[in-house]
Amino acid sequence: MSRSSNLEPPKVKPPRPQLKPIHGVPLPEWLADNWAKVEHFQAKPDDVLIVTYPKAGTTWIQQIVDLINCNGDAELSKRGPIDVKIPFLEIFAEGFATGVEMIEKMPSPRFIKTHLPIQLVPKSFWEKDCKMIVLARNSKDNLVSYFHFHRMNYALPEAGTWLQFLQKFVNGQVAWGFWYDHAKGWWEAKNKHRILFLFYEDMKEKPSREILKVAKFLDKVLEEDVIEKVVELSSFAVMKDDPMVNYSTLPSTIFDQTISCFMRKGEVGDWKNHFTVAQHEAFEEDYERKMRDSSIKFRDVL
């Protein structure tokens, strides 16, 4: 399995993209310019959508889902890179097949990744009543991870300094828009549709418990030894060194992992190494204002 395309990936780092609004949500221009292809995507009833805000643990839940589908078989799960087995709906990268093209060639049941806020999800997913697995991560660790990702990912705008990025995140001037709206929108929808809502912090606390929730949602029954294998093979330590999930197979002109690793730390609470006391106070005050109309509760320490 490969990211097949007749085109060549870029040999030099491309210029950083601008953000362009689609229905008010800033998206990288390579996506905004192809928006119609995403909007008109035709879902099938047995498609499963994996939904995250960027850097909330997408690759982790993708790996868990794939391992569950493989019944914990390590060899089978190594049949291809995670972004080929579970393509990213809205990716349009020079030199690679697009997410939509890859998904359209896949046999059912198809598992599909998206970062879209709920209002931008193509309407066919709702018409077909598809199952959706949503994974959310506390805002401060999510922000820290997104900052480091901007530093190394040439398909996103420049990160700028930590303070500049913090301000852009709070003001929703980052790709895929406001973290706050993403979290609230999906949380509100969870009881109205076939949605399993998970938290990164719960997965860190007791992965086996959350893996069982996913298996049940997918109507899979896992033996005890399979659960143990899924826990092990989806652990941060194993995933960090697994080329099928650590994106080391992508050229450094796209992800320059000498700047920051894709599998960076995988922890809860790394925000404490980034925020000053004053930045933290201001962030919390603003968070309280933005989130007071929602019942969603995150943990940022374990």
Whether the upstream peptide bond of residue 109 has omega within 30° of 0, thus cis, is yes
Alpha-carbon distance 198 to 245, whole Å? 20
Out of 190, 213, 265, 280, the only residue in the binding site for ligand PPS (CB under 6 A) is 265
Asked if 236 touches ligand PPS (CB under 6 A), the answer is yes
Nearer to ligand PPS, 60 or 125 (CB): 60
Using CB under 6 A as the binding criterion, the count of chain residues that bind ligand PPS stands at 20
Q: Going by C-beta distance under 8 Å and a sequence separation of 6 or more, which residues neighbour residue 79?
A: 1, 85
Q: Is 176 in the site for ligand PPS (CB under 6 A)?
A: no
Give the residue carrying structure tokens 């047995």.
46
Pick the closer one to ligand PPS by CB: 156 or 192: 156
- Cα separation, 38 vs 20, in Å, equals 15
Relative to beta strand 48-52, strand 25-28 is unpaired
Q: Is 139 in the site for ligand PPS (CB under 6 A)?
A: no
Site membership for ligand PPS, residue 56 (CB under 6 A): yes
Pick from 266, 279, 298, 300 the residue near ligand PPS by CB under 6 A.
266
Q: What angle do CA 139, 145, 149 make, to 5 degrees?
A: 135
Q: Which of 23, 115, 182, 193 is catalytic?
A: 115
CB of 69 or CB of 153, closer to ligand PPS: 153
Establish whether 274 is a catalytic residue. Answer: no
How far is 150 from 128, CA to CA, in rounded Å?
34
Distance of alpha carbon 280 from alpha carbon 286, whole angstroms: 10
Closest approach of Cβ 6 to ligand PPS, in Å? 25
Number of Cβ within a 10 Å radius of residue 189: 17
Nearer to ligand PPS, 160 or 266 (CB): 266
Which tokens belong to 82? Answer: 């995670």
Residue 262 corresponds to which amino acid?
Answer: F
The yes or no reply on residue 188 touching ligand PPS (CB under 6 A) is: no
- 3-class SS shares of the chain: helix, strand, coil, % to 5: 45, 10, 45
Q: Taking the complex as a whole, how short is the minimal distance between the CB of residue 302 and ligand PPS, in angstroms?
A: 12
Cβ closest to ligand PPS, residue 40 vs residue 206:
206
Single out the residue of 77, 114, 138, 234 in contact with ligand PPS (rule: CB under 6 A): 234
> Which residues are tagged catalytic?
115
By CB under 6 A, name the binding residues for ligand PPS.
52, 54-60, 141, 145, 148, 234-236, 239, 263-266, 270
